[in-house]
Structure formats: structure tokens, C-alpha cells
Chains A and B, each alone.
Chain A
Amino acid sequence: DAKTTQPTSMDCAEGRAANLPCNHSTISGNEYVYWYRQIHSQGPQYIIHGLKNNETNEMASLIITEDRKSSTLILPHATLRDTAVYYCITASNYQLIWGAGTKLIIKP
């Protein structure tokens, strides 16, 4: 079973920031937090990952709480093309366990 908990679905207005939460209360010290997304039926796409510190790249920002039991993925200016299923995964090795993710719908 997946070790993370995410809302089943979320809506966000185009141009606004999309904030996707993830709970991982059983995360261990050497486990990373990864975010991927899957647009329609395409192969999943890597977004960002982090261990302890907050991270930012050209796609998104990742905010990890100090106790590392939860995190938030932030898409700063959502567009219609960001409509996808977003997966939050924690793992310390190559066996990533995937949950059902959050269906994010960006509305015009």
C-alpha cells in the first residue's frame, strides 16, 4: 500500500497557485519525497523531489514541514495544461509505491 495520503481531487482557477497537500506521517529519515504527474494517459512525468529542505525548480515548489510528516506541492501559476493526476511518493530506494494520486482540474 502507498505510504502517502492525498485528496482524491482538487480544482484550481487558471492563473492562480495550485497547492496540493500530501500526508506521509510514517516517513523515515532517509526517505525522499517525490512528486510526479500524469497527464491523461501519458507516462508519468517527474516534477520535483526533496529530503528535508524546501525545493524549487522551473516547474514547482515543494514545501516539507519541519517534522517531515507532510508536504505541499505548489504550482505557482496554474495553466490548463497542468490538469493531471499528481502523485506524492516517499521512498528510500528504487521501489516507489504509487497511490491513486490527486486529480487536479484547472478551470478557465
Chain B
Amino acid sequence: NAGVTQTPKFRVLKTGQSMTLLCAQDMNHEYMYWYRQDPGMGLRLIHYSVGEGTTAKGEVPDGYNVSRLKKQNFLLGLESAAPSQTSVYFCASSYPIGQGMSSGANVLTFGAGSRLTVL
């Protein structure tokens, strides 16, 4: 049981290049998330998905796109990378405890992170 797996773990891009980060989970979780973390700060939500085929914007969605074609995978794309997107990216997944979010807690399982540098 691998949990949440992110690939690649490290990547260096030049300004304007594009790339995709892949997140895969094997826990049959409904919800998946992409966060970014800058030095000395907490995590900020980029996009999230509450089920296969659905995505939604989080706090800092600009410059990123996502897709959830399969329940177990959540892809984060950068169409034209900028130095401001240099960060550590974390994927997470969860399944709400109880009957729906209004009555249940939401416990996240995180991947190990992907460190992206944009020059």
C-alpha cells in the first residue's frame, strides 16, 4: 500500500516551459488536492477535486491547471512556468469520515512532495 505517490520528486524548468506533476493514490479516496508550500510558510491550496471528472479552484489557482480523469490520479499542470512558481508542491487525498462533509471530519494523507525550481 503506497498511499500517495508524487512524480517527479525534483524538477528544474526554464521560464516559459510547461510541465505536469502527477499524483497517484491507491486508497480509493474521493477527494484529492494540490498544495504549494513556500519557505517558512504553511500550505496553500491550489486546486482540489471532490471526485472523478470534477475539479475546483483553491486559494492560489492562477497559472495552474488540473485534471482528474481517473479517480486515483490528479494531475497538476503549469502551462508557462514563472519564477514565482518555484516551490514545493504537495498532493493529498482524503475520504470524509461520516456521511458527507457536513457531518464528518476530513483527514488528509499527503505525498512526499515535488520540489520545482523555475529559472
**Neighbouring A residues of B35 by C-beta, 8 Å:** 98
**Neighbouring A residues of B42 by C-beta, 8 Å:** 2, 87, 98-101
**Neighbouring A residues of B113 by C-beta, 8 Å:** 41-43
**Neighbouring A residues of B102 by C-beta, 8 Å:** 30, 92
**Neighbouring A residues of B106 by C-beta, 8 Å:** 32, 91, 93-94, 96
Question: Looking at the complex, which of B43-51, B69-77, B78-86 is the stretch in contact with chain A?
Answer: B43-51
Which residues of A31-81 have CB atoms within 8 Å of chain B's CB atoms? Answer: 32, 34, 36, 41-46, 49, 51
- Name the interface size band of chain A: 20 to 34
Q: Among the listed B43, B101, B107, which residue makes an inter-chain contact with A46, where contact means beta carbons less than 8 Å apart? A: B107
Shortest distance from the beta carbon of A88 to any chain B beta carbon, whole Å: 11
Interface size on B, residues (CB 8 A): 30
Is B109 positioned at the interface, with any CB of A under 8 Å from its CB?
yes
Given contacts A91-B106, A94-B101, contact A42 B45 (CB under 8 A): no
A-B pairs with the 6 shortest C-beta distances?
A: A98-B42, A43-B110, A98-B43, A32-B105, A99-B42, A44-B110
Shortest distance from the beta carbon of B108 to any chain A beta carbon, whole Å: 6
Contact between B90 and A49 (Cβ–Cβ < 8 Å)? no
A98 and B42 alpha carbons, distance in the complex (Å)? 5
Name which of B59, B88, B106, B111 has the most chain A CB atoms within 10 A of its CB: B106
